[in-house]
Amino acid sequence: MNEASQLDINAIMLRLPHRYPFLLIDRVLEYVPGQRIRALKNVTFNEPYFTGHFPHRPLMPGVMIIEALAQAAGLLAFLSADEIPDNKARFRKPVEPGDQLILQAQFERSFKGIWRLATVAEVAGEEVAHAQMMIAPDLKSAPVAQSLGEEP
């Protein structure tokens, strides 16, 4: 049986590219590689989303809770693979208020249920950022899985 371990904020930031205010995990209370993770987010009144959601009854938006869960899942994946990710992202130009950001993603390959995608962000036809991303969608019942060579 695997023994549970913990991570502090520095070990978390080594494995996730997010930084304040987008990093939503403050500590990993316990994890067992390949099995589970329990992480902590200190929710404080000065979080930027509380001013507008909602002014008279501050609530953490559901989409932020889902993002925190996604970060915990990402940590579990990297810890289970015993890998420090190489975030292949490049930022070319700043994006400012008033810009229209066009986002594109293109499927590159699939291996054992993990997709690799090439992504590009553009403003006025100029690349402002690009990144290689990997995701593991659950496509067992989706018809697109067969067209990508995934087993049903």
| pLDDT tens figures, 7-21 | 999 999 999 989 999
Distance in angstroms (rounded) separating the CA atoms of residues 116 and 86:
14
Residue 14, by phi and psi: left (phi above 0), alpha (psi -120 to 50) or beta? Answer: alpha
pTM of the model: 0.72
Tens digits of residue pLDDT in 63-93: 999 999 999 988 998 898 888 877 788 999 9
Euclidean distance between CA atoms 134 and 136, whole angstroms: 7
Instruction: Find the helix or strand (DSSP H, E) in which 77 lies.
Output: helix 62-80
The label of the residue with tokens 């549970």 reads 4
Please identify every residue annotated as catalytic.
53
Residue among 109, 104, 106 nearest 148 (CA): 109
